[in-house]
Amino acid sequence: MLERFSGPMVELYNQIELEMLKKLGKALYFKTELLEEDPEAWMVQQLQMMGMLDQQNIRILQQYSGKTVQEINAMLVGSGVYDLEETEEDIKDAIINGAQLAVPPPINQSPQILAIMDAYQAQAASKMNLVNTTLLDQSKQVYIDGLNKAALEVRAGFKSHDQVLREVIKGWVDKGVPALIRSDGAKLGVEGYVRTVVISTMNNMTNELQDQRNIDYGIELVEISSHAGNRPGCRPYAGKVFSLQPNHPRFPYLYDRGIGRIGDPDSLFGINCGHKKYAFVEGMSERTYKPPKSEKEDQKIYEQSQMQRKLERDIRKAKNQLAVFEAANDNEGIKESKQLIRDRQLKMKEFIEATGRTRRNYREQIHT
């Protein structure tokens, strides 16, 4: 479900990054003979292309920016409404079972619900604006760093100039264009950062919407689902009942920081969290889930899922590398990338055979 709403948005930014890398790759391969003859003159020639590259990257962002805003809103409204409908189902069940509840206005007329959605849309839009600015600035830095590395290595004389350029491209694709520079100076890539922002915004909003709706109905308690491979940050919650308000006589407060860190990427309702929250009426609702038993089993399944995500990322990176070498028209680079794709697909195949997990082909695709 997460994928259905967040996927298009993450995909869009992966596409933007790849388009930028293709432009950089194409520019890098302009008149490469000069690099062999005179690295300094080559640097001057390449730096003169910066203005043109910047214009091209601005165009890429403009071309996609309307789509990104649309996707943010579609994603947040879509996932919000979807999950609220689930909440309403739970509540209807509770009413059928005899719960005496308040009657709030319908979802699309509830001022509290609309205010929560507006706030999260604005928050996501401003974070994505910052990503756009960072991508534009950092693509220039990535280019300059690549030029310096190439000139330096050619001057050192251990490698041929086409070998050196190929390594620059591989490094670019591997590291990507930073999408955020953190206050401590750490650079976060599109894959990691955009995904985190998109999914945590979506999850935090959904969580807040559901709580608001439960409170509007006068529901005090929720049950958290449990599944195989509960990750460490979710385990304290899985299969248990919590109170939405502090100081409940019998159930712990859901947002008590002594239990865990709801809202953090690796905690309950964070990135890739598949847990759900169900309205629970004491004395009427049946407990559906049981708390997890074997921590070892959870840990093993969780680690395998992390490994599979990494192998999927590696395959996508190899495909990106192929796309950039194609843009740069480097036949040797194209050949090496095709081999890399095959090697990494084989690794995935072996992993799937060894673990018996389900392969998710769509997660190995890129969109060019």
The nearest distance, CB 86 to Zn ion, in angstroms, is 16
CB nearer to Zn ion: pick between 31 and 290: 290
CB nearer to Zn ion: pick between 89 and 264: 264
The nearest distance, CB 242 to Zn ion, in angstroms, is 14
The three-state (H, E, C) secondary structure of the chain, written as one string:
CHHHHHHHHHHHHHHHHHHHHHHHHHHHCCCCHHHHHCHHHHHHHHHCCHHHHHHHHHHHHHHHHHHHHHHHHHHHHHHHHHHHHHHHHHHHHHHHCCCCCCCCCCHHHCHHHHHHHHHHHHHHHHHHHHHHHHHHHHHHHHHHHHHHHHHHHHHHCCCCHHHHHHHHHHHHHHHCCEEEECCCCCEEEHHHHHHHHHHHHHHHHHHHHHHHHHHHHCCCEEEECCCCCCCCCCCCCCCCEEECCCCCCCCCECCCCCCCCCCCCCCCCCCCCCCCEEEECCCCCCCCCCCCCCHHHHHHHHHHHHHHHHHHHHHHHHHHHHHHHHHHCCHHHHHHHHHHHHHHHHHHHHHHHHHCCCCCHHHHCCCC
The nearest distance, CB 164 to Zn ion, in angstroms, is 45
CB nearer to Zn ion: pick between 170 and 276: 276
The nearest distance, CB 189 to Zn ion, in angstroms, is 24
CB nearer to Zn ion: pick between 161 and 240: 240
CB nearer to Zn ion: pick between 99 and 271: 271
Residues that bind Zn ion (CB under 5 A): 234, 273, 275
The nearest distance, CB 266 to Zn ion, in angstroms, is 9
